[in-house]
Amino acid sequence: MNVLEPPRSAAPASDGAFAAWLAGRAGRLLLRVRAELGHHDPAALKRAGDRASHQLLRAELARHRSADAVLSEEDHGARQDWTTGTAGPSPERLGADRVWIVDPLDGTREFSEPDRTDWAVHVALWQRNAPTEHRLVAGAIALPAQLRTLGTETPPPRPPTVSGRTIRLAASRSRPPAFVTEVADEVGAELVPMGSAGAKIAAVITGEVDAYVHAGGQYEWDSAAPVAVATATGLHASRIDGSALSYNEADPRLPDLVVCRPELAAPLLAALRRHLTLVPAPATAAG
């Protein structure tokens, strides 16, 4: 297959605008891949989408942010660093002052299914001297099939406070974990099934749901960009034990998180403590 890149526009100077520009370009490319390949071979479509988006992100980051390091889900050995012990973390990344953390295609399953719109592209920037605990200074979530991109450059306004209605909790559309159902029952929430992590956190940001809780295992690229945008809008984001989310660690696993409206953080974290055995944070930090 020969997938043509979308026409190239000038790259913005600011990191926040650049993140949105880059995520949007990758998203438009993924729409083209989807249209050209169709859905008759889901596995081939997933591979083609992952590869095309990763190559575009890598090429544009090398062109416009060549001094920065990159952590991408599709980098060779990105997961094997820790799950098999066959490779160590990149010294370049761990020593860098600025690291782009990207997920070229979040929600490959949804991407491969006709008419699904809950898949995303994540682009985030971690900076060593940032004042926040997570050190994410820019980020964007492209939702190509929804024709929108959410970013830190112009974050959307925080949705109105929950009052007098049932709390909505984003959950896996196929197999929501038992603890999510238990937590929802305790806080009086209804489950709203949907696909990728990026789509779920984007739904919290836009007010379509009120919270997203995950404890089934993730990596930094699954949440960096969505967390950057969520916290830029004033939402709560932490690990499920209430501790800070930390990025650009030697171990890129970041297995759990909760993103929610600020007024829901205390009751959700309390319910999580009662229904889960909490997983300790990775021990090694980059700086």
Beta bridge partners of 169: 191, 211
Q: 158 versus 87: which is more confidently predicted?
A: 158
Residue 210 structural domain: 167-277
pLDDT band at 2 (very low <50, low <70, confident <90, very high): very low
Look up residue 111 and give its two tokens: 């991407």
- Check whether 148 has a pLDDT greater than 70: yes
**Exposed/middle/buried for residue 12 (C-beta within 10 Å: 0-12, 13-18, 19+):** middle
Residue 1 located in a structural domain = no
| Residue range 40-57: mean pLDDT, rounded | 96
Residue 156 located in a structural domain = no
* 275 contact partners, CB below 8 Å, separation of at least 6: 179, 182, 183, 186
252-273: per-residue pLDDT in tens? 999 889 999 999 999 999 988 8
- Check whether 158 has a pLDDT greater than 50: yes
pLDDT of residue 274: 85
- On whether both 55 and 119 belong to a single domain, the answer is yes
- On whether both 113 and 229 belong to a single domain, the answer is no
Beta bridge partners of 121: 142
Whole-angstrom Cα distance, residue 266 to residue 253?
Answer: 25
70-105: per-residue pLDDT in tens? 999 877 767 665 555 555 667 888 899 999 999 999
Look up residue 202 and give its two tokens: 């984007």
Exposure string (b/e) for 152-176, b if CB count within 10 Å is 16 or more?
Answer: bbebeeebeebeeeebbbbbbbeee
- Check whether 4 has a pLDDT greater than 70: no
- Check whether 198 has a pLDDT greater than 80: yes
Q: 276 versus 203: which is more confidently predicted?
A: 203
pLDDT of residue 28: 97
- On whether both 146 and 176 belong to a single domain, the answer is no
Q: 90 versus 154: which is more confidently predicted?
A: 154
Which one of 117, 151, 185 terminates a domain?
A: 151
- On whether both 222 and 272 belong to a single domain, the answer is yes
pLDDT of residue 251: 86
Whole-angstrom Cα distance, residue 74 to residue 224?
Answer: 15
CA-based nearest residue to 56, from 118, 117, 11? 11
pLDDT of residue 285: 39
Annotated binding site for Mg(2+): 73, 103, 105-106, 222
CATH of the domain at 89: 3.30.540.10
For tokens 């099934």, name the residue.
193
Annotated binding site: 73, 103, 105-106, 222
Strands (E) across 6-73 are located at: 69-72
| Residue range 11-33: mean pLDDT, rounded | 96
- On whether both 63 and 130 belong to a single domain, the answer is yes
Whole-angstrom Cα distance, residue 106 to residue 102?
Answer: 10
